[in-house]
Amino acid sequence: MNFEEALKEREIKIRFPDLVRRNIKLQFLQKVIASETISRDDEAEYFIICLEKVAESIQSYKDAEPPKHQTSKEKLNSIAQHLNTFADLLKGLDSAVLGHFVHCALLEREKRTGVSLPELGQSEMMYTARDMREDILPMIKDFGLGSQIASKTLPINDFNFKEKIALHVERIFYEAELEFSVTDNGFSGLCLNSVFEYGNPSDKKPTIKYLLKKAKDNEGSMSSLIKKYRPTSDADGKI
């Protein structure tokens, strides 16, 4: 399959409006160096398709974004509080109530697993329940304490789907040998804004200039790699 056939075979899920596509194409053709093997129009179309594919990926990146750090800490603290409360309540049950509680719980497990349990008399069930309580309480305390410690030591996950999307756009610019500027009214700003506007229309519009700078300064960006491995005098060149 040649390049033109590949373009025709492309499954379109998100397509920028024609006016936006024409604007991107016009600016692309003004900036890009002509290829010896691909027509300029096809190059521009491929560049736009890459942007549209990034726009299509926004929802999957949003789904992968973890809850806010503080929310996770609060959930862990809540688990600890509930486990401690459960342990205190369990300790406070008298033998007869504890036996009945465990009997009902074992019957539910039997229904769930399909594994029949031996018939136990009331006295046997009471002793069994007390033994189980002695085994379970330390585990409950361990999990309660573990939840508290986890809340205090929980690492911060700095994953931000908007910054990841901007980083993808930065890579597309690098592969097209185009300058990735951090001005929101430049060509990179136009492209990133189009990606968010048509790939994530329900969300509040992000600050494009901020995302452009975050992408360019990211240690995994092509811009940062070029600065790292090229001499200062040639920092704007390609690897």
**Domain membership flag for residue 207:** yes
Segment 172-198, tens digit of pLDDT: 999 888 889 988 889 999 999 999 999
Confidence of residue 11 (pLDDT cuts 50, 70, 90): low
Q: Are residues 50 and 79 in the same domain?
A: no
Q: Are residues 75 and 188 in the same domain?
A: no
Domain boundary among 153, 181, 208: 153
DSSP state letter for 5: H
Residues 6+ away with beta carbon under 8 Å from 3: 38, 42, 46
Domain boundary among 153, 187, 214: 153
Q: Are residues 107 and 171 in the same domain?
A: no
- C-alpha span between 83 and 64 (Å, rounded): 29
Q: Are residues 166 and 138 in the same domain?
A: no
Confidence of residue 146 (pLDDT cuts 50, 70, 90): very high
User: Which amino acid is present at 206?
Assistant: P
**Domain membership flag for residue 175:** yes
Helices in the chain by DSSP H: which ranges? 3-9, 18-31, 40-56, 58-64, 69-92, 95-113, 122-153, 161-175, 187-199, 208-217, 222-229
Confidence of residue 237 (pLDDT cuts 50, 70, 90): very low
Per-residue model confidence (pLDDT) at position 118? 75
Q: Are residues 55 and 74 in the same domain?
A: no
**Domain membership flag for residue 145:** yes
**Domain membership flag for residue 239:** no
Residues 6+ away with beta carbon under 8 Å from 117: 106, 107, 109, 110
Q: Are residues 92 and 210 in the same domain?
A: no
Q: Are residues 181 and 204 in the same domain?
A: yes
- C-alpha span between 140 and 227 (Å, rounded): 53
Domain boundary among 153, 168, 188: 153
Q: Are residues 194 and 147 in the same domain?
A: no
Burial of 196 (0-12, 13-18, 19+ CB in 10 A): buried
- C-alpha span between 124 and 113 (Å, rounded): 23
Confidence of residue 167 (pLDDT cuts 50, 70, 90): very high
User: Which amino acid is present at 94?
Assistant: D
> Is the confidence at residue 1, as pLDDT, over 50?
no
**CB 81 within 8 Å of CB 226:** no
**CB 239 within 8 Å of CB 230:** yes
Confidence of residue 82 (pLDDT cuts 50, 70, 90): very high
Q: Are residues 166 and 61 in the same domain?
A: yes
Q: Are residues 164 and 127 in the same domain?
A: no
Residue 118 vs residues 44, 128, 201: alpha-carbon distances, Å: 74, 12, 60
Q: Are residues 173 and 142 in the same domain?
A: no
Nearest-CA neighbor of 62 among 165, 147, 144? 165
Q: Are residues 135 and 118 in the same domain?
A: yes
* Domain count for the chain: 2
Report pTM.
Answer: 0.60
Domain hosting 190: range is 3-65+160-234
